[in-house]
A = this chain, B = another copy of it.
């Protein structure tokens, strides 16, 4: 008897929705986000393209599932990295973790759809990711909307730098670590001083 996955039943051998997403991630890692094609995924899973439709509604849905998976990976990493830290140090660790994830998986980050809010699955994943940032900013005594603005700032800074870096958009020889640390310092300096617990 097989172990029954909580995700979805495994009636026969072969594919499943999560296996298709796994294959999609492998294709993205190896050939880039642009190369994510049903034919490529089918080839990698040893199956004819139409068979994928038994597990995924189409290319658009597959991209959404991949996006949600990537955001969950980020959430997991950030949660682990920020564990046991607080204040400026936690913020800095979070920002560096963001960049590190994208350097480890540049193609996966590039595969994130630009319009994440159009799909409930991605909204859920995005909300989980948001919570990590909001939790880290707790303790700075920010008002609710103040925390939202601060989180948006952090996201803008991290996403901006990291997407330019991943695209090879920084052409000059100056050290990129230095630029990013400067951005982190700039953001941290803009926060109110943490209040005592």
Contact = CB atoms under 8 A, between A and B. Distances in A.
A153 B117 contact: no
Interface string A151-176: 01101111111011011111110100
Contacts of A187: 186
Contacts of A117: 168-169, 171
Copies in the complex: 2
Interface in A8-39: none
A149 B182 contact: yes
A131 interface: no
Interface of A: 110, 114-118, 123, 126, 145, 148-149, 152-153, 155-161, 163-164, 166-172, 174, 178-179, 182-183, 185-187, 189-190
